[in-house]
Every structure is written in structure tokens, then in C-alpha cells.
A and B are shown apart, each in its own frame.
Chain A
Amino acid sequence: AQRVTQPEKLLSVFKGAPVELKCNYSYSGSPELFWYVQYSRQRLQLLLRHISRESIKGFTADLNKGETSFHLKKPFAQEEDSAMYYCALRPDLYSGAGSYQLTFGKGTKLSVIP
């Protein structure tokens, strides 16, 4: 079974400071990793996925298979980054049953202090 761990429930940083939201996973195959974000009073939305290797809103995340991590980083935090962030895993698409369900971590609330 797969598992996603986000060790920090709350992370507070000052505006302009670097941000790193940690995510570790447990899965025996080759998973696909995602970061979802939920702003206040809004629905859950995809921020980025490891396969795209792109930067969204200044955020990047690199899949480290050796450390089974997918940490989310941004060099300079902005007030509008304050939100709830969820790391999620989808099993290897070719592993059979359970290929389409997402397994989420418990989330980290990011608070950017002006």
C-alpha cells in the first residue's frame, strides 16, 4: 500500500523568505507525484506534477526516488501563497487495480507573514 507523509501541519514564513514544504512517500513501484493547493474558500486544485517538470507560480518540486521525497520549493514567498498544500501520489499507471486513485498526505498549512 502507498503512503504520503507531510511532516509539518503548519509552516509560517516571512514574505520574501524561501519556502520548502516537505513530502515523503512510500510506494514500491514508480509513482506519479502531485502537489495540490487549496486557497481559502476555494476548491482543491492541481499546482504541479512531477512528470511536467515545470514551475507554477514560482513553485518547483523534484522527485527524489532515492530519498522517496517530493518537496515543494519556492525561493521567495508571497502573501498570496498562503494556503493549504497537499502532496498526492498516484500508483504506476501500469500496475493494475488502483492505478487512478490519488493517495493524499494530511496537508501543510502555509502562512506567509507580511
Chain B
Amino acid sequence: DTGVSQDPRHKITKRGQNVTFRCDPISEHNRLYWYRQTLGQGPEFLTYFQNEAQLEKSRLLSDRFSAERPKGSFSTLEIQRTEQGDSAMYLCASSPGTSGTTDTQYFGPGTRLTVL
């Protein structure tokens, strides 16, 4: 296991199309997070899962965005009817889910989305 993996690494799509990204966390990590990063900005939190339960969603996650983690392992992030403003790097992270302050988030390489 070499860490969090994301697929695809790059996606170019036309405005109005739907796209889906996949994230495979580190084995046995209970928590999984999605962030979005635009040019010149730090990552911004979108949503997080504890096992298969989606426990928190940011106001950045509009109705066009949906995330799932059906079996508590990999996760998918779907964007419907993409807009040019959706162009960004989408980052996935996972953490062991340990209690207390030792729960470190490990990031994947990201999926770069370009909406034409």
C-alpha cells in the first residue's frame, strides 16, 4: 500500500457534463475526506466520511455535488452539470480514525478537473 490513490489524475470535460472521481484510502483508514483546491488557494474542505457514513458537508458542496463511500472503503465524488467554476484540484485524504489528537490526514495526489 503506497498511500491514498485517486483516479483519474486529470479530467477535461465540457460544461454541462457529469464527472466522477474515485479515491482509494490507505487500508483500514476509517475516515475519508474530500477537499478542493483552486489556483493560489489552500485546500478547502468539502466533506468527510466515518466508515460509510457521511458525517459532515461544507456549504461549498452544492446540490450538484454528491459523494459516497458505499462499503466504507473507496469513495466517489460526482459533479453533475459541471460549470467552469468547478475547475480545480480535488484532493482526497484519509486518516486512521484514532481517538484524540494523533489522527493524521494523509493526502492523495489529487484529480485535476478542467471544465471547458
Contacts and interface: CB of A to CB of B under 8 A. Distances in A.
A4 B44 CA distance: 12
Nearest to A50: B101
Majority secondary structure, B binding face: loop
Contacts of A4: 42
B109 interface: yes
Given A43-B108, A44-B91, A107 B56 contact: no
Contacts of B43: 44, 86, 102, 104
A32 B101 contact: yes
A6 to B, nearest CB: 8
A106 B42 contact: yes
Given A43-B109, A45-B107, A100 B101 contact: no
B101 A43 contact: no
A113 interface: no
Contact of A51 (B33, B101, B107): B101
Contacts of A43: 3-4, 107-110
B85 interface: no
B107 A98 contact: no
Contact of A93 (B40, B56, B101, B106): B101
B29 interface: no
A46 to B, nearest CB: 6
Contacts of B40: 9, 106
B57 to A, nearest CB: 10
A56 B108 CA distance: 21
B41 interface: yes
A36 B35 CA distance: 14
Contacts of B33: 100-102
B42 A107 contact: yes
Contacts of B105: 46, 102
Contacts of B3: 43
B45 A102 contact: yes
A101 B56 contact: yes
B45 A103 contact: yes
Interface of B: 3-4, 31, 33, 35, 40-45, 48, 56, 58, 91, 95, 100-101, 103-110
